[in-house]
């Protein structure tokens, strides 16, 4: 089992817990007000997000990525009775993506755990200032609760990524039907919030909890499994300088950089992006979406 730290996002506010029921899976959602450097923000729904231990050298999950043993103890064969792929979805790789579309000296900015009505707009403003397109890995209930933010992300030309319904970092140890529900219900929530026929192009398992089955399910529904190479650990709020230095030191690991816009106060993330985006351009990097 992936070890969970005692850290839980500082988003559990003083309000009653509500439960979002989606396809038979319960996702705990806490209602409260987000606080920012600018003062209290509007009331919003936050998913209860926890993160696994940090023993992920090079941004790789602590459990083996691509391990062919199934989480339910079976022989790893895929569930033939699972949801059928929609018509017209072909050619999506099941391998975990650690590359950019353009290749060369390029990076991909990826942003997890939102959308947040407080922090997503601030991050969108920074991205716009520097002409950078990013990939937003959204939690299903967060997207459902904040459709205006999903639409704004799409309208700005960014891409969408499925980050599951309940951010369960142990989903790789759960039965295949559970994994399928986590992936496909979130995809539906995000696409319905986006409207206009927008599609989710990637799937990122929380904490890197990929399995052959959830990768197969995602790819069969048009979503490339998306990993990362640089883990900023910004969710721990280590300080802006630490986030910036982590990116500079770990870029040698590869081009996919992981930030967060949800799950708590993201002022340090916003400040770090303001420093890093122009610095990356000065170093000769271009910005690209992850490969599909």
DSSP per residue over 254-270, as a string? -SEEEEESSSS--HHHH
Specify the pLDDT at position 91.
86
Specify the pLDDT at position 90.
62
The answer to whether 101 and 219 have CB atoms below 8 angstroms apart is no
The answer to whether 288 and 106 have CB atoms below 8 angstroms apart is yes
Helix (H) or strand (E) holding 138: strand 134-138
Between helix 147-155 and helix 119-129 the angle, nearest 10°, is 10
Structure token digits, residue 135: 């990939």
Specify the pLDDT at position 4.
36
Specify the pLDDT at position 51.
60
Q: Which of 34, 97, 112, 162 is catalytic?
A: 112
Does 38 qualify as catalytic in the annotation?
no
Q: Which of 63, 168, 260, 265 is catalytic?
A: 260
Does 260 qualify as catalytic in the annotation?
yes
Q: How far is CA 40 from CA 117, 120, 226, 262, in A?
A: 12, 15, 33, 15
Q: Which residues of the chain have pLDDT under 50?
A: 1-48, 53-82
Vertex 77, ends 73 and 83: CA angle to 5°? 105
């Amino acid at each position: 089992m992936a070890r969970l730290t005692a850290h839980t996002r500082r988003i559990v506010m003083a309000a009653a817990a509500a439960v979002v029921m989606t396809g038979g899976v319960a996702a705990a959602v806490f209602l409260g007000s987000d606080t920012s450097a600018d003062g209290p923000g509007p009331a919003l729904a936050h998913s209860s997000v926890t993160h696994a231990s940090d023993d992920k050298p090079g941004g790789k999950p602590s459990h083996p990525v691509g391990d062919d043993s199934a989480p339910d103890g079976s022989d790893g064969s895929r569930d033939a009775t699972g949801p059928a792929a929609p018509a017209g979805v072909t050619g999506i790789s099941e391998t975990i993506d650690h590359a950019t579309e353009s290749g060369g000296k390029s990076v991909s900015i990826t942003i997890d755990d939102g959308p947040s009505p407080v922090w997503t707009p601030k991050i969108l403003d920074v991205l716009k200032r520097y002409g950078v397109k990013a990939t937003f890995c959204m939690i299903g209930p967060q997207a459902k609760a904040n459709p205006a933010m999903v639409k704004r992300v799409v309208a700005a030309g960014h891409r969408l990524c499925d980050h599951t319904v309940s951010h369960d970092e142990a989903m790789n140890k759960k039965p295949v039907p559970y994994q399928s529900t986590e992936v496909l219900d979130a995809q539906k929530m995000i696409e319905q919030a986006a409207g206009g026929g927008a599609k989710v192009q990637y799937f990122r398992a929380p904490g890197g909890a990929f399995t052959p089955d959830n990768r197969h399910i995602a790819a069969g529904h048009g979503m490339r499994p998306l990993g990362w190479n640089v883990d900023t650990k910004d969710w721990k709020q280590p300080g802006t300088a630490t986030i910036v230095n982590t990116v500079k030191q770990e870029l040698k690991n590869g081009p996919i950089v992981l930030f967060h816009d949800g799950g708590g106060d993201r002022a340090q993330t916003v400040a770090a992006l303001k420093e890093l985006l122009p610095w990356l351009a000065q170093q000769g990097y271009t910005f690209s979406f992850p490969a599909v």
